[in-house]
Amino acid sequence: MIASEERLRKAGRVRAPDEIGWLGQMGLYLALAALTIFCLFPFAWIFCTALKTLGETFKLPPSWWPHQPTLENFVKIWTIQSFGRYFLNSLIISGVTTLLSIVLASLAGYGFSRFRLPGGRIAMVGVLAAQMFPGIVLLIPYFTLASRLQMLNTYPVLILAYTSFSLPFCVWMMKGFFDGIPTELDEAATIDGCSALGAFLRVVLPLSMPGVVATAIFSFLVAWNEFLFAVVLATRETMYVVTVGIALNIGQFRIQWNELMAGAVLATVPTIILYALLERHLVRGLSAGAVKG
């Protein structure tokens, strides 16, 4: 048990600040500034366009901050299109996909990590192989399948597709995390009377929170940002998701840039909330260590 506490305490500790000198600090801040500009510049452009009127959008030379900032584009996209409905659909589909991916992937990851399965290696490659066919050619067969099963315009058809997109990474990621946790822990739990599932749920999984969080964010974004399947498999507008709603602004004869960008900005909100909620678990090992250390 000592080993586990030790690990708990020490896992994921960052380097102490005194390890890098004054020059290093400077470099650090420069790097952070560069990172911020790199990541946020296009975002800023998107955001400002969302606040501009069409008349100002293509002004040359371009204006940075809109002269007459307006929230009209946000209102328009929310009211004229059924953006609220698309949002709800996206939330349901992405939410369930995320939960399903975490549950299935952590179980499978544990299975692959802790049990010597007949054909286990082939199965692990098989998990990856499930992703290898390009979506473009699978589109029609998958659509046909959904139509035969009377599943068009249902949430499960997209949830299952997206779960199959996110599972390969999630399974491998979780297996990697579980591999890093000493088997002595499971053994001790089993000796204490836990079943295999109990050992997994009570001991191993809580120690793998950073992995769970990473896979959660990953599977959420896979589902939230997917477009091709979403646009083809929903044959009714009531089943559209946010990415499709955004793309509806790209018309044949005109692109409604401002509404498009407003939609894109709105679409990032759930991810930001999700990340803000989960971020502390991504560094869970750190805070646990800090309290006890």
Partner 1 sequence: MATRESGLGNASASRRRFLKLGLATGAGLALPLRLRPAAAQAKTQLTYISYELTSAAAGPELKRQIAEFEKANPGITVEGIPTPLAQYTAKVEAQARAGEMPDIATVDVLWLRGWIKQGYLKDLTPYIDKAGGKNFIGQFYDSLVQLATDGGKVYALPVFAGGYVMYYNTELFKEAGLDPNKPPTNWSELLDACKKLTKKDASGNTVQWGWGIHGQNIPADVSRFLQWMYSNGCEPLSADGKTALLDQPKAIETLTFWSDLYKQGLVPPGAVQAGPGEVRSMFAQKKIAMCVGILWGLDQIFAENPAVRNATAIAPFPKQVPNAPSLFQAVYNAMSANSKQPDAAWKFLDFFSRPESGMGLYKATRYGPVRPDIFNRSDVKADAYAQVQAKVNQQLKPPPIIPQWERVSKIIGDAMQRALTGAKTPEAAFKEANAQINPILKQA
Partner 2 sequence: MPRSTRSSSKPSIPAVTGIPTPGDPRPRGGRWPRWLVGFAFVAPSLLVLGTVIAFPVMDTLRLSLMETRSKDQTVFVGLANYARLIQDAEFWSAFKNSISFTIGSVLGHILLGLAVALLLNQRIPFRPVFRIISLVPWMFAPVVVAMTWRWMLDAQLGVINFLLARLGLSGPFLWFENTRLALPAIIATNVWRGFPFATITLLAALQAIPKEQYEAAAVDGASAPMQFRFVTLPNLRFALIIIATLDTIWNFKHFDLIQVMTNGGPAGATEVLTTLAYKVSFENFEFGYAAAMGVVMSLVLLATTVVYVRRIL
> What's CA 195's distance to the chain center, in Å?
31
Q: Counting Cβ atoms within 10 Å, is residue 37 exposed (0-12), middle (13-18) or buried (19+)? A: exposed
Which residue among 11, 46, 99, 221 contacts partner 1 (CB under 8 A)? 99
Least distance (Å) between residue 84 CB and partner 2: 18
31 binds partner 2 (CB under 8 A): yes
1 binds partner 1 (CB under 8 A): yes
- Provide the mask over 131-150, with x wherever binding to partner 1 is found by CB under 8 A and - wherever it is not: --------xx--xx--x---
Of 32-40, 44-52, 151-159, 168-176, the segment contacting partner 1 by CB under 8 A is: 151-159
Question: Is the bond into 168 cis (omega within 30 degrees of 0)?
Answer: no
Which residue among 20, 103, 149, 277 contacts partner 1 (CB under 8 A)? 103
Of 242, 234, 217, 209, the residue nearest 81 (C-alpha): 242
Which residue among 72, 153, 188, 218 contacts partner 2 (CB under 8 A)? 218
Of 228, 227, 177, the residue nearest 205 (C-alpha): 177
Q: Is 255 helix (H, G, I), strand (E, B) or coil?
A: strand
- Provide the mask over 235-264, with x wherever binding to partner 1 is found by CB under 8 A and - wherever it is not: xxxx-----x--xxxxxxxxxx--------
287 binds partner 2 (CB under 8 A): no
Least distance (Å) between residue 227 CB and partner 2: 6
- Nearer to partner 1 (CB atom), residue 230 or residue 265: 230
Identify the DSSP state of 250.
B
Tokens of 129: 């192989």
75 binds partner 1 (CB under 8 A): no
Which residue among 200, 256, 259, 262 contacts partner 2 (CB under 8 A)? 200
Q: Give the number of other Cβ atoms within 10 Å of residue 251's Cβ.
A: 9
96 binds partner 1 (CB under 8 A): yes
Q: Give the number of other Cβ atoms within 10 Å of residue 118's Cβ.
A: 6
Beta bridge partners of 255: 250
d(CA 164, CA 60): 46
Size of interface with partner 2, in residues (CB under 8 A): 126
267 binds partner 1 (CB under 8 A): no
Only one residue has tokens 């749920």, namely 201
Of 250, 248, 243, the residue nearest 264 (C-alpha): 243
Which residue among 26, 182, 237, 277 contacts partner 2 (CB under 8 A)? 182
Give phi and psi for 250, each to the nearest 5: -95, 95
Q: Which spans of this chain sit near partner 1 (rule: CB under 8 A)?
A: 1, 4-5, 8, 54-55, 57-60, 92, 95-96, 99-100, 102-103, 139-140, 143-144, 147, 152-156, 159, 201-203, 205-206, 227-228, 231-232, 235-238, 244, 247-256, 292
